[in-house]
Amino acid sequence: MSGYFKTALLMAAMTGLFMAVGGLIGGSNGALIALVIAAVMNLMTWWNSDRAVLSMTGARLVSEATAPEYVRLVYRLADGAGMPRPAVYVIDSDQPNAFATGRNPANAAVAASTGLLQRLTPEEIAGVMAHELAHIRNHDTLIMTITATMAGAIGMLGNFAFFFGGRNREGGVLGTLLVMIFAPMAAAIVQMAISRSREYEADRMGAEICGQPLWLASALRKIDHFAKGIDNRQAEANPALAHMFIINPLHAHRRDALFSTHPATENRIAALVAMAGQDMPQPGLSENDRSVARSSIPRSGRRLR
């Protein structure tokens, strides 16, 4: 199934759900209004997906002049993968994390947190950014952003129903309760189902782009550890964005489950270790891996700036 077909299918499903919620709130008129709103949102999301997400996370654009090693690393990985160079952003957050956004590879952006650039080695950062480039190549970024936007909107409809719903409309109090409980849950289920499968594929392709599966495996282990103890204020303020990050920024459960936005980190690491031909996860990169990295990744110190 092509990325564009999946995106169209998702937009149709989320629009239908949006209309159903609108119908419960305001009857036929509510459904019609919800349809118009959904159509406008779909169009705006399609053309401005990267700007919307980058704005919500407070990401700032960087260049070779302001973040030379980080930007050159991303460019080198993109060039090696035969992809257009994405715009490169930094998020001011101590929690190590990263995401990609944009409607297609020619209009894409990658963003890494200051915590990631400071706490991870260049090898690990290369693995993370290769993972994000894989999302761009797979056209995941568009469907991820549309899902985040629509899920957030449906959640707002639930809040609207709580404050303005009542007996004098279709569904009455029961309809209000259904909207409040099940509409956000339904949107979240769609969001989670998409997230879980795409992460494994982006891990696989990202490992191929950087050429070292253990770099990404080591990065995932570190990010997962820090994400459990460091808050991500941008994601906390916009929970619908959580599925876009490489590791759930909202302190996700450790095991695979229906209501997890990401697969369990240990399962992702195991898959990467299998790619590298190892018998078991290693606590970090070997010195040999690091020597290989030093010959291919620009660095003036232990961390990228």
- The set of catalytic residues is 132
Asked whether residue 201 is marked as a ligand-binding residue, the answer is no
> What distance in Å separates the CA atoms of residue 60 and residue 45, rounded to the nearest whole number?
20
State the pairing for strand pair 98-104/107-113.
antiparallel
Within 83-171, residue ranges assigned H as helices are: 114-119, 122-137, 140-164
131 assigned binding-site residue = yes
b (16+ CB within 10 A) / e for 97-113: bbbbbbbebebbbbbbb
For 114, 185, 210, 299, the CA distances from 67, given in Å and listed in that order, are 11, 40, 20, 12
Helix, strand, coil tally for the chain in percent (to 5): 65, 5, 25
Binding residue per annotation — 251?
no
Nearest alpha-carbon partner for 228 in 203, 248, 244, 255: 248
Annotated binding site: 131, 135, 199
Annotated binding site for Zn(2+): 131, 135, 199
